[in-house]
Structure 1
Amino acid sequence: MHQIVASPVTGLIQAEDITDLVAVTEGEVLLPGEHGYAAECAAFNFNNPLEPALVVAAASAADVQNAVRFARRRSLPVAIKATAHQVAVPAHGAVLITTSGMTGVTVDPRRRTARVEAGARWQQVLDAAAEHGLAPLAGSAPGVGVVGYTLGGGLSPVIGRTRGYAADHVRLIEVVTADGAHRTVTAETERDLFWALRGGKGNFGVVTALEFDLFPVTRFYGGGLYYAGEDLAAVLHAWRQWVPLLPEEATTSVMVQRLPPVPELPDVLRGAFVVHLRFAHLGSPADAERLLAPLRDVAPVLLDLVEDKPFSAIGEIHLDPADPLPYYDRTTSLREVTAETIDTLVELTGPDSDCPLLGVELRALGGALDREPAAPNAVPVRGVPFLLFALGVGGPERAGQLRVALDNVVGALEPWSAERQSPNFLSVDEGSSAAAVRAIYGPERYDRLAAVKHVYDPGNLFRVNHNIRPAA
């Protein structure tokens, strides 16, 4: 039984407007001010709040269908949230469909596949797959939602360079489109929509479940090495020369970090300015150590967290924050990283820079990430060798300072940057215009996405995102 309590601030929707929706919805239907509304709207980034006119906390695909039909009848936009690690706009006036209550994960060890509902997080899949000696193409943060990550491409810090993007290995997608239909989409049934969903994020409907491949991987050798920030130049220059020598079985990234003085960190990292080298290798520990040796010798290591690990411990490589926090971020792709690129980064983030950012990261891509999958998709960054991501932690009172610093980093690297970007790394400040989104995907890919959008969402119901507009 749902109890609707009228709120003094309900935007376009009043309590009496949703009586029919409440009657057919298993999950909660919430207006602003009601108990549970704030929790359903909560985002991972405190600086990017969601403030929709209505929330439908879906418990099933049928709930999603009811919510989409309700929004369409009233010409209201639809926003989608699972774990809210990526919020593009605040969803004012929208119907927000949350899927965090849909958490089913089923592993088929014979077929080496997983079926995952829309609210599941990667740690659930990692643990379920590990019971059968299998591994998914999970990312660096196991707390991230599976569906959003996969629809944006999905970059694994362990098996991405040998297997490609997570989107490359999706077999089946269950999705509610703008007409309220619940479709089962594969490369054989609806080829264009299947292509667009994998890379186009939430522009084409509300995905309620995915089926994707798992791989016979149980362990890796990896983790992180920490160096003093004063050794930044030596480490980054050595890393740049080392990356082209790595086999596809090895993956690496490096991050300049100014860490907070929090008790959760080891003493040597608490409040420290450090360089965090990340590394993962799928071969033997002896082979991995031979590969890593040149970087171990480049500067004194403050903390060594590299060891043989179960695949389910993938989160120990990057050690991304697990709890929500306020931050601002930017990203860019790089066509190359030269000695001059490194010198520029050192100048911007090194010991003499007074850089206020928590971290500036370089990820090396390549390998299978450059190869087209058997069923092509819309992931736009194949052939891009490096990705740069930067973030600064702070609330609105620090917005000006942090955004200037982020702009300085991205702007200074423009001579080496590529227009095509990873959809999963776009921030609120990126991709806010049609021209920017077109550049992110490239004109040919964007035009195809817009054509698919015209077929499945001609009214642009799903526009609370980095929006792909339907072709005219």
Structure 2
Amino acid sequence: MSTLVPDSSSHDLPLAPGPRAQAASASAPPAPSAAVLEAALADLTGRVRGEVLLPGTPGYGQAVTPWNVAVPSTPVAVVAAATASDVVSAVRFADVHDLALEVRSTGHGALAHDRRSLLVHTGRLQELVINPVTRRARVGAGVRWQQVLDAAAAHGLGALAGSAPHVGVVGYLTGGGLSPVARTYGFGSDLVTAFEVVTGDGELRRATATENTSLFWALRGGKGALGIVTAVEFELLDVAEIYGGCLYFDGADAERVISAWRVWSASLPEQATTSLAVLRLPAMPAVPPPLAGRCTVAVRFAWVGDPADGARAAEPISTLAPPILGGLGVLPFNALGMIHADPVDPMPVHERSVLLRELPQDAVDTLLALAGPEADCPQVIVELRLLGGALARAPREPSAICHRDAAYAALTIGIAAPPIVEATTGHAAAVMAALDPWSGGISTPNLGASTDPAIVALKYDAATLARLATLTASYDPNARMVAADPVRAAAGLVQS
């Protein structure tokens, strides 16, 4: 049975590697033979409460396939963890047998790599506790946001979920988390009060504002670089319903709608959060016929407060042109996902994103030239999100989230599969380059997952990136965590 390692210092400094990690790092063992590894995995099977899944066995294929099926994954085995102790056993096993560590719950932010690895699947960690008195939640690493939204709604509460509530809670929070109501409440990570995490040295630790404080800082923005989160605790929202929805306009109205949205969005109070997307959705059963096989423009809107005030705030856009689908109205908070209506089924996707310091008309014209109705655009979605409001304020506890002064986020999402994958990636790069005068290439952890050190470096400021890299070296001295590789490479690139 594993126990939490206590905080050894009151200072915000990384912990020194423990004796076991120091001994392991003294001399890296050669990779074990297939026979030795097979016997070791059989032994591991008897030491975990979950399952150890091997290639060719039932469940392996499903476990290794991420939501983004464009990212290949072929680990030597999967540990489908049932407890935090299982995760500890898996991490220590990987260290002994010179394996890298992948982590997965849903796999929305999966990263490609070429290391020999063990995959730890946290989908069975399904703890979900709502405390309506303190308005806090504690959830296991396998829980998805819709589960939390529904459980909180039973008590008249909300949770700061993202636009796609079918994603995992942990991956979303460790990357910051941009909600459809983010301008009112800030980043999702700003509401986190505690993590329980197995760091790369195989120790189970609790990280809060007063315990393992440097780890707590890093986990809010560092994604999976610091270890495998087994549980997270966070504040809930005292809100049961919102005013909002989505209006879909014909692509022929794109120039008028986007230009008007630019001006309108800049005037909104922080009770309002909005985004806009140029859509080219394929003709398939899950796509409503008015949107299928054509260019359309979606304007999403959420208002926290009096619905009448929300309707008045939305009027300049809702009356701009005749919508071809959608509408605005009062929504129960646990229906938050209806605003964006993001796809649920796994698919091969390529994402790129940047943050914009401003959105002048020149930037809108640039985007229209590349993604408007007359453009040869292979992307399924080209999106702008209004930031600011609570997102721009410093959190109660400092975190690794950077660029809080950004005004907008731009995002492209396209199909990463033949025969259009090259067109998708090339066009996305062109969009990012064209927006560079207003972005400088900066971005945020959760949007546009990448292993490119140059892209990762711009998700953080230089001091934050250097500190994250230092902490990964302290908590993961043998560099087991695959998710830490891009951080370390980015820090090396900046230092060079």
**Superposition TM-score, scaled by structure 1 size:** 0.94
Q: Choose which of 131, 148, 169 in structure 1 pairs with 2:154.
A: 131
Q: What is aligned with 1:85?
A: 108
Partner of 1:351: 373
Contact 2:432 2:441 (C-alpha < 8 Å) held by counterparts:
no
**CA offset at residue 202 of structure 1?**
0.6
Q: Which residue of 2 aligns with 1:157?
A: 180
Q: 2:227 aligns with which of 190, 205, 208?
A: 205
Is 1:441 equivalent to 2:460 in the alignment? Answer: yes
* Bigger shift: residues 340-349 or 461-470: 461-470
Superposed CA deviations along residues 76-132 of structure 1, whole A, max 9, x for unmatched, are 111110110111114641111000111121001111100000000000000000011
2:145–2:168 Cα contact (<8 Å) kept:
yes
Residue deviations 1:11-32 (CA, integer Å, cap 9, x gap): 7974223122111011111222
> Structure 1 residue 94 and structure 2 residue 120: aligned?
no
Helix, strand or coil: the match of 1:375? coil
The answer for the alignment partner of 1:282 in structure 2 is 304
Residues 1:20 and 2:43 are matched in the alignment: yes
Conservation of the 8 A alpha-carbon contact between 2:378 and 2:420? no
Could you say what secondary structure the match of 1:392 adopts?
Answer: strand
What does residue 462 of structure 1 align with?
A: 481
Select which of 94, 111, 122 maps to 1:71: 94
**1:291 Cα deviation from its structure 2 partner:** 0.9
Amino acid corresponding to residue 58 of structure 2 in structure 1: H
C-alpha separation in 2, matches of 1:431 and 1:381: 20
- SS of the residue corresponding to residue 243 of structure 2 reads strand
Indicate the larger mover: 12-21 or 241-250.
12-21
- The Cα shift of 1:385 comes to 1.1
Which has the larger displacement, 28-37 or 12-21? Answer: 12-21
Equivalent residue letter for 1:167: S
Secondary structure of 2:290's counterpart equals coil
Contact 1:135-1:311 at 8 Å conserved across structures: yes
Contact 1:285 1:308 in 2 (8 A): yes
Query: Quick one: which amino acid aligns to residue 373 of structure 2?
Result: P
What is the one-letter code of the residue matched to 2:110?
A: V
Cα distance, 1:54 vs. partner? 1.7
SS at structure 1 position matched to 2:379: coil
Answer yes or no: is the 8 Å Cα contact 2:242–2:303 preserved in 1: yes
Structure 2 alignment gaps of length 5 or more: 1-32
Deviation by residue 1:148-206 (Cα, 9 ceiling, x = unmatched): 00000011112x11221111111111011122211111110111111011110111111
SS where residue 441 of structure 1 aligns?
A: coil
* Residues 472 and 484 in structure 2, CA contact (< 8 A), matched pair in contact too: no
Q: Which moved more, 1:235-244 or 1:351-360?
A: 351-360
Partner of 2:279: 257
Q: 2:413 aligns with which of 381, 385, 391?
A: 391
List per-residue Cα deviations over 1:263-301 (Å, max 9, x = no partner). Answer: 333332222310000000012222111111111232221
Give 3-state SS (helix, strand or coil) of 2:488's partner. Answer: coil
Q: How many residues align?
A: 459
SS for the counterpart of 1:397 is coil
Cα deviation, residue 422, structure 1? 1.2
Distance 1:33 1:465, change over 3 A: farther
In the TM superposition, what whole-angstrom CA distance separates every residue of 1:403-434 from its partner, at most 9, and x where no partner exists?
1111121111111114432111123xx3422x
The residue number in structure 1 matching 2:295 is 273
- Determine if contact 1:157/1:280 at 8 Å carries over to the other structure: yes
Letter in 2 for 1:432: D
Alignment match of 2:471 (pick from 431, 440, 452): 452
Q: Look up the match of 2:452.
A: 432
CA RMSD of aligned residues (A): 1.8
Tell me which amino acid in the other structure corresponds to 2:415. V
Which one is further off, 274-283 or 258-267?
258-267
Which residue, 324, 339, 346 being the options, matches 1:317?
339
User: In the TM superposition, what are the counterparts of 1:134-213 in structure 2 within 5 Å?
Assistant: 134-158=157-181, 160-213=182-235
SS of structure 2 residue aligned to 1:379: coil
Does 2:425 match 1:403? Answer: yes
5+ residue gaps, structure 1: 1-9
Residue pair 2:127, 2:139 contacting (<8 A) in 1 also: yes
Give a deviation string over 1:340-365, Cα, whole Å, max 9, x none. Answer: 00001111111221212111000001
Q: 1:103 aligns with which of 108, 126, 147?
A: 126
Structure 1 residue matching 2:305: 3-state secondary structure: coil
> What pairs up with 1:357-376 in 2 under 5 angstroms?
357-376=379-398
Amino acid at match of 2:404: R
> 111, 119, 136: which is aligned to 1:113?
136
Partner of 2:15: none
Distance 1:137 1:463 in 2: 28
Quick one: distance in 1 between partners of 2:36 and 2:438?
48
TM-score, normalised by the number of residues in structure 2: 0.89
Q: Per-residue deviation at 1:458?
A: 2.2
Matched-pair contact (CA < 8 Å) for 2:68–2:108? yes
Q: Which runs of 4+ in 1 moved over 3 A?
A: 10-14
Residue aligning to 1:3: none
- The residue aligned with 1:226 is 248
For 2:251 and 2:113, locate their aligned partners in 1 and report how far apart those are by CA, in whole Å: 37
- What secondary structure, in the 3-state scheme, does the structure 1 residue paired with 2:469 have? helix
One-letter identity of the residue aligned with 2:400: A
Q: Relative to 1, partners in 2 of residues 1:465 and 1:392: Cα closer, same or farther, differing over 3 Å?
A: farther
Relative to 1, partners in 2 of residues 1:190 and 1:12: Cα closer, same or farther, differing over 3 Å?
farther
Q: Cα 1:135–1:200, aligned 2, differ >3 Å: closer, same or farther?
A: same
**Identical counterparts, % of pairs:** 44
Q: Secondary structure at the match of 2:46?
A: helix
